[in-house]
Amino acid sequence: MNYKALPKIDLHCHLDGSARPETLRELAVERNLQVADIESLRSSLIAPESCPSLDEYLKRFELAVQVMQDKASLERIAYEIFEDASYENVKYLEVRFGPLLHMNKGLNLDEIISSVLKGMNDAKEKYDIEGGIIIAALRTMPTDRLDDLIETGSKYLDKGLVGFDLASSEVAGFCDTFKPFVEKAKALGYKITIHAGETGVGKNVFDAVTIGADRIGHGIHIHSHQKAFDIVKKHKIVLETCPSSNVQTKAVTSMENHPIKDFMDAGILVTINTDNRTVSNTSMTKEVKRVMETFNLDLSDYHKIYEYSVQAAFTSDEIKEKLLAYIR
Ligand SMILES: [Zn+2]
């Protein structure tokens, strides 16, 4: 099968984990940062096949965050991710990022969000790709700026910003802290996706759906929590699974043990996504190939997954129709 030629949709892709190593190096040099040669840099950005923990995995984002502190770098990296995705026939891409991480050198939230949107919108104009931007609250950061983030972001909801996410390290019961922010974002018109059930706590998925998640990032641990499994199935909540990343972060022990196929068989709506094109050393082509070959999926299985992605995309019916036309 020509996996590259298949139309693809990526609903779960992080901006800072998907920057080209070459670009990061160039930006670092321009900013007088100490940086290794490209080969060493590349290997230091890629998380090992089995990383000791999710937190160890998250360390790979440090250089990207360090250089993405001005408008030009944010815009460029956003542009290049859409460009790279279009080259492998990704027809629709949602990129997420935590704007609060990019304020270290004085940028304000408007500048940060509008730069990323500009990068995406310029790429959308040039290439055959649709998509949107999701802003994320990082659970490891204080919550005192989240009202400002959500309010500022809401001004861009008709300009390509489409959703709100809770990301980074996952502890049991995190939804209690973030419920008011999720409710506020939802009331302002954001679609909601929440990283939950990624590294062990199935109940977090139940809580995330209860506080208003439209989709779940990962969600693979619903297999260990019946109530979470049931609510996801009953409400047809789409799971954004990221197979290679799940192996790297030890969320699953191996690709063969990934629950994606069991979920499909049980009627759970699963999708295939990259998570981090650079840190997970992947692309949509690689993820789709890995999943289809590991679980012996045929084209009609793949089309089902693609349709779930269309269904769950934070976009208009018009764009959804356009995306469905690629597989008809
Ligand atoms: Zn993620």
In order along the chain (328 residues), what is the average pLDDT of each group of 10 residues? 97 97 96 91 85 76 94 98 98 98 97 98 98 96 96 97 94 94 98 92 95 97 95 98 91 93 97 96 97 97 98 98 97
What spacing in Å lies between the alpha carbon of 17 and ligand 1's midpoint? 9
What spacing in Å lies between the alpha carbon of 279 and ligand 1's midpoint? 11
Per the structure block, which two tokens stand in for 270?
Answer: 């699963």
What spacing in Å lies between the alpha carbon of 106 and ligand 1's midpoint? 26
Q: Are strands 215-218 and 238-241 parallel, antiparallel or unpaired?
A: parallel
198 tagged catalytic: yes
Q: Which candidate, 152, 155, 53, 186, places its Cα nearest to that of 166?
A: 186
* Tokens 């984990």 -> residue: 17
What spacing in Å lies between the alpha carbon of 167 and ligand 1's midpoint? 7
Q: Which candidate, 75, 158, 163, places its Cα nearest to that of 111?
A: 75
Catalytic residue among 198, 240, 293, 321: 198
What spacing in Å lies between the alpha carbon of 14 and ligand 1's midpoint? 6
pTM over 0.85: yes
Axis crossing angle, helix 146-154 with helix 175-188, rounded to the nearest 10: 20
Res 182: pLDDT: 98
Res 105: pLDDT: 96
- CA–CA distance, 16 with 95 (Å, rounded to integer): 10
Res 141: pLDDT: 92
Axis crossing angle, helix 284-294 with helix 299-312, rounded to the nearest 10: 130
Res 54: pLDDT: 72
Contact between 91 and 128 (Cβ < 8 Å)? yes
User: The dihedral of CA 54, 55, 56, 62: what is its sign?
Assistant: positive
Q: Which candidate, 129, 124, 61, places its Cα nearest to that of 97?
A: 61
Q: Going by C-beta distance under 8 Å and a sequence separation of 6 or more, which residues neighbour residue 10?
A: 85, 90, 92, 93, 94, 273, 274, 284
Starting at the earlier edge strand, list the strands of the sheet with 191-196. Answer: 8-14, 90-97, 130-138, 161-167, 191-196, 215-218, 238-241, 270-272
CATH topology of domain 8-325: TIM Barrel (3.20.20)
What are the C-alpha distances in Å from 9 to residues 61, 130, 234, 243, 300?
23, 10, 24, 14, 16
Buried b (16+ CB within 10 A) or exposed e, 77-101: bbbbbbbbbbebbbbbbbbbbbbbb
Res 58: pLDDT: 76
Res 250: pLDDT: 83
